Structure 1
């Protein structure tokens, strides 16, 4: 199997990959900021585990989305 290089990709595919990387980075940053500001009683699970999962997972934005939907308890 031949290795594909960045230069081998079409312009459309390069743009798509760049957009997905940017989206993943923004979601990770937003999740980490929220995690840092949130009290531990407002979370489902450990801050340390969530932080590691958000930071080191290669998830195409899924782990931050899971954090926002399932990892946080409702306020109020």
Structure 2
């Protein structure tokens, strides 16, 4: 390890908490996107479902992109 590298346990409590909260938010976004992709008919999704499943694994960007750009209008 270099002098600049720290283990998770060596980080300040606030930094550790931020990392944990960020990870939880990422998992919630990804889970919601994957659940929506699975339940939504392919006709209501812009592009192929497998593409959006793969993109949902890109941190934050993928799930948010799916919800913003991947779903067709619901007619409201």
- SS across alignment from 1:74: coil
Mapped pair 1:47 → 2:38: no
Aligned residue for 1:64?
63
Taking structure 1 as the reference length, what is the TM-score of the superposition? 0.88
Query: Tell me, which stretches of 5 or more residues in structure 2 are unaligned?
Result: none
How far does the alpha carbon of each residue in 1:9-53 deviate from its partner, in whole angstroms, 9 at most, with x for none? 000000000000000000000000000011111111110010011
Runs of 4+ in 1 over 6 A off after TM superposition: none
Give the greater-gyration-radius structure (CA).
2
The structure 2 residue matched to 1:18, chosen from 13, 17, 20, is 20
Aligned equivalents of 1:43, 1:6: Cα separation in 2 = 39
What is the CA distance between 1:63 and its match in structure 2? 1.2
- SS across alignment from 1:28: helix
Which fold has the larger relative contact order, with Cα–Cα distance below 8 Å and residues 6 or more apart in sequence? 1
- SS across alignment from 1:64: helix
What is the CA distance between 1:70 and its match in structure 2? 0.5
> How many residues are paired up?
73
Taking structure 2 as the reference length, what is the TM-score of the superposition? 0.88
